[in-house]
């Protein structure tokens, strides 16, 4: 059964993936592991994104950088599966039988991206061998035309792995991903032969290539008269090779073993950790050992130039942090409001939507919902206080009126709901008003505040287009109103 078959069968699972009724309500919550995987996954992705942006902005387009860019895409996708998704499912205690189609799709993407990422790791190892030895017998693969064919083959391999091989399926009881959905059927029918071949090839080839590279560097040190180059680069190259190769080879070997032999829980957790760090170690290596990427990331972060953030409110927050704006009391209050609003959006919108879609109540996950509710309530109190402070500080009547209107409306409705009967439509209206009062502020900033809007345009638009946008400052806005 593959993802392609699932789609062509209109998301109907075959008999071998059907869960018995006894397993559909079998939850197994593992909070400590869940929070570890979730938080570490988010941290690794946040560390990887600046490295990825630096590589995209680099003027170098040699094969090594192209391989690193594509590998970064695969790694970030994999971290979303083996860390973030793993953490969420552990916290919820959910396995394949609770969300079969969702986990099937996530597992197919994770398995296919892992296999394609392995191919890119082999390419990266080959490229580094070519860099230290131009006469390496596989150097022809990195010539212009041949390299395009190689990348096309990797792309086809990725599509094949995602769409036409058996997916990984999550088990909360073991906190790991297996091809066997654990529905009390013969595990032999779920074996993924392409995945096994892939893992054996990547573990053997990367180990061999990096051993060759280390031996060649040590040999060159003895023969080369340019010992300064060797003393500066040899240790870094060997260390990167050992770190990257170790995690990939270990993860590959463990997952092959897990398919065919009994695996104790400790080995299963170790396999999951090595899979996580086989993708996450790259950003750590880039930021600690690779001086070029580290200096570029530091320069980008210290200059507040975050290209194309995905959340509109983050753009506005970055714009308000400009030195000429943050010195004004009104903007200080607006920054505080943003710091309350952004996490509130996660609770009022994202978690609410997920819980509503899944039909989850407090009794299903009492501790998780209790913690989220406490944070949400505290953030709401901070938002309310900050919004009224904005009304005092602001001289722009329309912006202040819109922001405070939704906060006041939500406050009145939620107070009413505590003491009086509330029909279903009022409950939904209250949730929408909370949603809007935290998220609508960014719309107000981008439509009615020319200062913030112009700074946001400077952040996301190319420099050639910025000349058409006049930059306003706080003092200009005050003079205009007067």
Q: Which of 233, 98, 240, 225 is nearest to 169 (CA)?
A: 98
Confidence at residue 470, expressed as pLDDT on a 0 to 100 scale: 43
Whole-number Å distance between alpha carbons of 380 and 406: 12
Per-residue pLDDT tens for 84-121? 999 999 998 999 999 999 999 999 999 999 999 889 88
Using CA atoms, how far residue 102 sits from 86, 97, 138, 169, in Å, is: 13, 10, 41, 10
Per-residue pLDDT tens for 139-191? 888 888 899 999 999 999 999 999 999 999 999 888 889 899 988 888 888 88
Secondary structure (3-state) at 421? coil
Q: Which of 129, 77, 130 is nearest to 105 (CA)?
A: 77
> 10 Å Cβ neighbour count for 427?
12
Q: Which of 415, 416, 407, 355 is nearest to 386 (CA)?
A: 407
Confidence at residue 106, expressed as pLDDT on a 0 to 100 scale: 94
One digit per residue, the tens of pLDDT, for the chain of length 482 reads 889 998 988 888 888 898 888 887 888 888 888 899 999 989 888 888 888 888 887 776 778 788 888 988 999 999 999 999 999 999 989 999 999 999 999 999 999 999 998 898 888 888 888 888 888 888 888 888 899 999 999 999 999 999 999 999 999 888 889 899 988 888 888 889 999 999 889 888 888 888 888 788 777 655 554 554 455 555 666 676 667 767 777 888 888 888 788 888 888 888 888 888 888 887 788 788 777 777 877 777 665 444 433 445 555 656 656 666 666 666 566 666 666 666 766 676 677 777 776 777 788 778 778 877 777 666 666 655 554 444 444 444 555 556 566 666 766 777 777 777 878 877 777 767 766 665 555 666 667 667 666 766 665 554 544 444 444 443 343 333 33
Number of H helices, E strands in the chain: 21, 2
Confidence at residue 390, expressed as pLDDT on a 0 to 100 scale: 45
What does the chain come to in residues?
Answer: 482
Determine whether 139 is exposed, middle or buried from the number of CB atoms within 10 Å of its CB (0-12, 13-18, 19+): middle
Whole-number Å distance between alpha carbons of 356 and 354: 5
| C-alpha dihedral (464, 466, 470, 473), degrees to nearest 10 | -140
E strand or H helix that includes residue 177: strand 176-178
Q: Which of 203, 178, 180 is nearest to 82 (CA)?
A: 178
E strand or H helix that includes residue 178: strand 176-178
> 10 Å Cβ neighbour count for 43?
14
Confidence at residue 325, expressed as pLDDT on a 0 to 100 scale: 63
Secondary structure (3-state) at 189? helix
Whole-number Å distance between alpha carbons of 34 and 369: 15
DSSP string, 298-365: HHHHHTT---S-SSHHHHHHHHHTSHHHHTSHHHHHHHHHHHHHHHHHIIIIIIHHHHHHHT--TTTS
Q: Looking at the domain covering 3-302, what would its CATH class be?
A: mainly alpha
Domain with CATH 1.20.1070.10 in the chain: 3-302
> 10 Å Cβ neighbour count for 135?
6
> 10 Å Cβ neighbour count for 228?
9
Residues 6+ apart with CB under 8 A from 156: none
Q: Which of 68, 86, 67 is nearest to 78 (CA)?
A: 86
E strand or H helix that includes residue 381: helix 366-393
Terminal Cα distance for the chain, rounded: 69
Considering the entire predicted model, what is its pTM?
A: 0.62
> 10 Å Cβ neighbour count for 282?
29
């Amino acid at each position: 059964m593959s993802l392609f078959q699932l789609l062509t069968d209109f998301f109907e699972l075959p008999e071998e993936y059907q869960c018995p009724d006894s397993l559909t309500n079998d939850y197994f919550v593992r909070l400590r592991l869940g929070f570890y995987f979730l938080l570490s996954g988010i941290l690794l992705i946040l560390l990887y994104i600046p490295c990825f942006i630096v590589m995209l902005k680099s003027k170098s387009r040699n094969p090594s950088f192209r391989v690193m860019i594509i590998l970064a895409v695969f790694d970030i996708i994999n971290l979303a599966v083996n860390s973030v998704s793993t953490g969420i499912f552990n916290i919820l205690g959910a396995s394949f039988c609770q969300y079969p189609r969702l986990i099937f799709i996530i597992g197919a993407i994770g398995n296919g991206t892992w296999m394609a990422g392995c191919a890119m790791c082999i390419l990266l190892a080959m490229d580094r061998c070519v860099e230290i030895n131009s006469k390496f017998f596989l150097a022809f693969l990195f010539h212009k035309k041949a390299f395009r064919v190689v990348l096309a083959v990797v792309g086809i391999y990725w599509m094949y792995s995602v769409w036409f091989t058996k997916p990984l399926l999550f088990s909360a009881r073991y906190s790991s991903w297996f091809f066997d959905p654990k529905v009390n059927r013969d595990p032999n029918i779920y074996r993924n032969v392409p995945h096994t071949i892939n893992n054996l090839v990547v573990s053997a080839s990367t180990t061999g290539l990096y051993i060759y590279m280390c031996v060649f560097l040590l040999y060159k040190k003895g023969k080369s008269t340019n010992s300064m180059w060797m003393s500066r680069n040899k240790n870094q190259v060997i260390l990167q090779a050992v770190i990257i190769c170790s995690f990939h080879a270990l993860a590959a070997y463990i997952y092959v073993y897990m398919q065919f032999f009994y695996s104790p829980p400790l080995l299963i957790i170790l396999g999951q950790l090595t899979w996580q760090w086989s993708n996450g170690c790259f950003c750590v290596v880039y930021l600690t050992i690779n001086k070029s990427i580290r200096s570029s990331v530091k320069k980008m972060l210290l200059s507040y130039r975050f290209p194309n953030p995905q959340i509109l409110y983050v753009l506005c927050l970055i714009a308000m942090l400009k030195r000429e704006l943050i010195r004004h009391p009104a903007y200080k209050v607006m920054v505080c409001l943003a710091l309350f609003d952004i996490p509130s959006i996660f609770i009022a919108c994202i978690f609410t939507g997920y819980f509503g879609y899944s039909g989850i109540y407090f009794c299903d996950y009492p501790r998780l919902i209790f913690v989220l509710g406490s944070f949400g309530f505290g953030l709401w109190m901070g938002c309310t206080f900050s919004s009224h402070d904005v009304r005092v500080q602001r001289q722009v009547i329309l912006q202040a009126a819109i922001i405070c209107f939704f906060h006041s409306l939500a406050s009145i409705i939620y107070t009413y709901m505590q003491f009086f009967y509330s029909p279903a439509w009022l409950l939904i209206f209250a949730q929408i008003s909370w949603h809007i009062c935290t998220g609508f502020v960014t719309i107000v900033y981008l439509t009615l505040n020319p200062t913030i809007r112009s700074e946001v345009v400077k952040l996301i638009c190319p420099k050639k287009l910025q000349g058409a946008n006049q930059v306003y400052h706080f003092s200009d806005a005050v003079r205009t109103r007067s």
